[in-house]
Structure formats: C-alpha cells, structure tokens
C-alpha cells in the first residue's frame, strides 16, 4: 500500500503523504491487529443493520458480509499483509475489503467513525478477556478446593508477621485463597456488566443523521444495550481501567500465594514439594530445585500494575471527546491481559500438582507455642479470669516453657500452678494442636467440619 492509498483513506483533505516519523508514531497496526476478529464482527453487524434500515442495499450488504468473512479467513490463516501506511486495523480491513468487493466496501463506513468503531472493538476484546479470566479463576478455584479437601484436617501453623500464631488446617489455608479468588471473579463479573454497552452508532462524537438502529447492532454483538451518550461512548475507557484494576488485584493475590509457595517449598519449611513441571535446576548446584514459576509469577504484578498506572495517566487529563492519546490504551491492556492469563494458568498448574507434607506441617504447628491462645481462653472459661489477666499468666508460662526448652503441653502441672494455683490437669486437654483446631467451630473457623462445609458450599456454587 502506498502513501497515496493512505491519503485516499483519509479523504481529500490532505495533499501530501505523512512523514516517515509521523507514520511511525501514528500507526497502531503493529498492536491493534489483535482486534481483527472484533473489528470484523462489528462491521458485519453494522452492515446488516444498514441494510435492514434501507441505508444500503441488500446486495451491497451481502457483498460486504462475504468479503469480511474472506478477510477474517485470510487473517486467521496468516495470509493477510498488514500495512503501517494504513495506520490501523480498521483501515487495513476496509482496504482489503475494497480489493475484494469493490464499490460496496465504500458504503460500510456509512453512519459510523473510527472513533465508535475502535471503542466497540476494544470493548468486545476486553469482554473476551474477562470471560477467559473467569474460566481461569474457576479452574484455579477447583484446584484449591481439591487441595483443601485432601487436607481438611491436616494441622499446620497459622502465621501473623510470619511468626507462628495459632494452629490452623491446610484446608483452611487453601480456602482462604478460594475466598480471595472468588472476590476476584465477582470483580470481573461486575466489570463485564458495566462494560457491556455498545458504542457503535455514536459515530465521531455526536451521533448520526442516518436512521440507524443501535439496539439492533448492540443485540447482534451481545451487548445489553447501546450507550446512552455519544460523547461518552467514543471517549470512555473506564471499562479498560476497571479491567486492569480487577486484574491487578487478582495478580496481587496470585503473588501472595506464589510467595507462600516459594517459602513453603524451601528446605527450611518443607511444607510442600513443587512438581518438576514448574521447577528448574541450577547450572552449578545439582541439589537445587528452584520454584522459578512461582518466583516469576510473583514478579508479574509489577507489569500489570504498571499498565494500570500508565492508562490512568493517559486518561487523567483528556477533554471530551476522542483524542489520539487513547491510541496508547491498547498495548497496556494487551500486555496486562496476556501476563495475567498466563500467570493464572501457571498458578492453577502449580496448585494442582503440588504435594503437601502433612508431617512437616504438623511438626511446625506444634512448635512456637502455637496453643498459647488456647491456654488463655481456657483460663477465661474454666477459672473465670478476665482475659487480660489470662493473657498475662499465659505469657509467663510461655516464658517458663522457653526457659526449660519445651513447649506448653510439656510443662509439668506444678509449673503451671506456680503461675496460677487454680490450673488443673484439664488444661492439657486444650493444649494439643488437634484439640486447638477442633475447637475453632465458629463460622469461618479452622475446625475441619467448618472447612468441609465451606468446601461443599463452593463446590455447589461452581456447579
């Protein structure tokens, strides 16, 4: 395609071709060719509507439809030559359509603009990514549920400040991530509902004088309704920002889980063994098995958050309606979507394949005075002490156990009674880690029965 061809696409306003630098900065075909399927779907819906409204002939609409299907086939088959001189996916498709069907191609752009065209394409593309994210999150949730079910009563340490706090169960810990990723799914679902309005027919910014049927094109493209304001329709990118925001939050959750997998798979913890499929070795240390997939995933949040900030920065100062700045929206969203969906798939694989070590989990749960809170609670229940006094007594017993080099369940009764005379043998019934987790029966607690109830609830919700 020549510069002259490009000028013809712009119309008669420009006599000279663009400078090479201007062409390079202005062209978006290098990345927006990813919108080809959505662009052609929008054009097919638009052409069908134009014919139904009597704006173009049925024969022209049929020629356009057949030509667009040919263009789509060429693109999907890798036989289409994209031209930077034609700037973007819209002009590339239209130019090829003209080569295929001739004059009818020139009628396709009636009653629309590249402004509403790209807004429509982009919404369709982001909607597809949301659907893919939802499927990926559902798969990850099922992998977590399988882990939780297997270890609903495996005792492990619960941490605060990465210090042993209270015993919990493996199943309970897995279910915490089920809840997080469940909220992520709901954010994507909410974003999809707000996104699902059609800009098509808003034209450049003010609508059109042609008697178009925007409800028909919205329905044909799976939108709930047409957007109600033409200025907003062509200039809104909050749907992309909301997608990026939901993606960044979910990537942060993935990063937190990745961090735990890195820690847990270390020789110092041995809580889990990562599968070979998601690990690598060392070039000089033959004993190493590195959780590289988890480490890389942990870093991906940086790219996604960077894309989010970048698009906020692009949009923050733009007056209505469309500005060329908005061309900078797509690369950020494309990269974030690719990065997130890859990370999601990697995490699902890691969780599905990893093997927990119940013995190491139990040994860690029994150390670090993890049942100290159970002792304090017993002092309140059995002896009627104020909790603050019970907390103080328990603290002194922890110090005593520490000085003896033992854990609380190993302290002799006389040592217990030295801290408070009312303590009896019954206290030992609450100090074991199994007793501790079994006692946490409040809704959402770590008791195995509670964990299994939450697993059942989520399995039913997933269907």
Q: Which residues are annotated as catalytic? A: 161, 282
**What is the distance between the alpha carbons of residues 154 and 174, in angstroms, rounded to a whole number?**
11
Contact 202, 115 (CB under 8 A): yes
**What is the distance between the alpha carbons of residues 248 and 302, in angstroms, rounded to a whole number?**
9
The runs of H, that is alpha helices, within 53-113 are 58-76, 89-101
CA-CA distances (angstroms) from residue 399 to 163, 320, 321, 396, 426? Answer: 16, 67, 68, 5, 21
| C-alpha dihedral sign at 303, 309, 313, 316 | positive
> Which residues partner with 164 through β-bridges?
159
- Per the listing, tokens 């994507």 go with 188
**What is the distance between the alpha carbons of residues 239 and 40, in angstroms, rounded to a whole number?**
21
**What is the distance between the alpha carbons of residues 50 and 65, in angstroms, rounded to a whole number?**
12
DSSP letter for 368, please: S
Element (H, E) at 168: strand 163-169
Contact 208, 236 (CB under 8 A): no
DSSP states along 223-289: -SEE-S-HHHHHH--HHHHHHHHHHHHHHHHHHHHHHHHHHHTSTTT-SEE--GGG-B--SS-TT--
How far does CA 25 lie from the centroid of its chain?
31
> Which residues partner with 290 through β-bridges?
280
**Phi, then psi, of 156 in degrees rounded to 5:** -145, 165
């Amino acid at each position: 395609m020549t510069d002259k061809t490009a000028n013809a696409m712009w119309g008669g306003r420009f006599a000279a071709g663009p400078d090479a630098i201007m062409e390079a900065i202005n062209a978006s075909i290098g990345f927006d060719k990813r919108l080809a399927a959505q662009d052609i779907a929008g054009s097919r819906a638009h052409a069908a509507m134009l014919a139904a409204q009597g704006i173009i002939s049925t024969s022209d609409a049929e020629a356009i439809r057949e030509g667009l299907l040919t263009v789509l086939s060429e693109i999907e088959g890798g036989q289409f030559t994209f031209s930077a001189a034609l700037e973007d996916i819209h002009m590339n498709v239209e130019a090829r359509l003209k080569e295929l069907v001739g004059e009818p191609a020139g009628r396709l752009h009636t009653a629309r603009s590249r402004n509403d065209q790209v807004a429509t394409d982009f919404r369709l593309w982001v909607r597809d990514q949301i659907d893919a994210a939802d499927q990926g999150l559902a798969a990850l949730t099922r992998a977590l549920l399988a882990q939780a079910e297997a270890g609903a009563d495996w005792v492990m340490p619960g941490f605060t400040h990465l210090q042993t706090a209270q015993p919990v169960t493996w199943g309970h810990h897995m279910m915490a991530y089920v809840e997080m990723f469940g909220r992520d799914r709901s954010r994507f679902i909410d974003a999809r509902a707000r996104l699902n309005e059609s800009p098509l027919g808003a034209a450049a910014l003010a609508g059109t004088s042609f008697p178009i049927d925007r409800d028909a094109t919205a329905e044909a493209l799976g939108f709930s309704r047409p957007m109600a304001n033409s200025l907003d329709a062509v200039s809104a990118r909050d749907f992309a920002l909301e997608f990026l925001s939901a993606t960044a939050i979910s990537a942060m959750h993935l990063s937190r889980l990745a961090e735990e997998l890195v820690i847990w798979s270390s020789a110092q913890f041995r809580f889990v063994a990562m599968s070979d499929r998601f690990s690598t070795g060392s070039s000089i240390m033959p004993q190493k098995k590195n959780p590289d997939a988890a480490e890389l995933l942990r870093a991906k949040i940086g790219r996604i958050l960077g894309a989010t900030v970048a698009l906020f920065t692009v949009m923050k100062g733009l007056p209505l309606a469309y500005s060329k700045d908005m061309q900078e929206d797509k690369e950020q969203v494309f990269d974030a979507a690719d990065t997130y969906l890859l990370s999601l798939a990697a995490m699902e694989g890691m969780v599905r394949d990893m093997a927990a070590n119940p013995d190491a989990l139990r040994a860690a749960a029994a150390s670090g005075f993890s049942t100290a809170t159970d002792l304090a609670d017993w002092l309140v229940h059995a002896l009627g002490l104020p909790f603050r006094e019970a907390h103080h007594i328990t603290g002194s017993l922890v110090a005593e156990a520490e000085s003896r080099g033992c854990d609380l369940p190993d302290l002799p009764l006389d040592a217990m009674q030295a801290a408070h005379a009312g303590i009896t043998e019954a206290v030992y019934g609450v100090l074991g880690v199994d007793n501790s987790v079994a006692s946490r029966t409040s809704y959402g607690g770590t008791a195995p029965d509670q964990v299994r109830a939450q697993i059942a609830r989520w399995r039913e919700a997933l269907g």
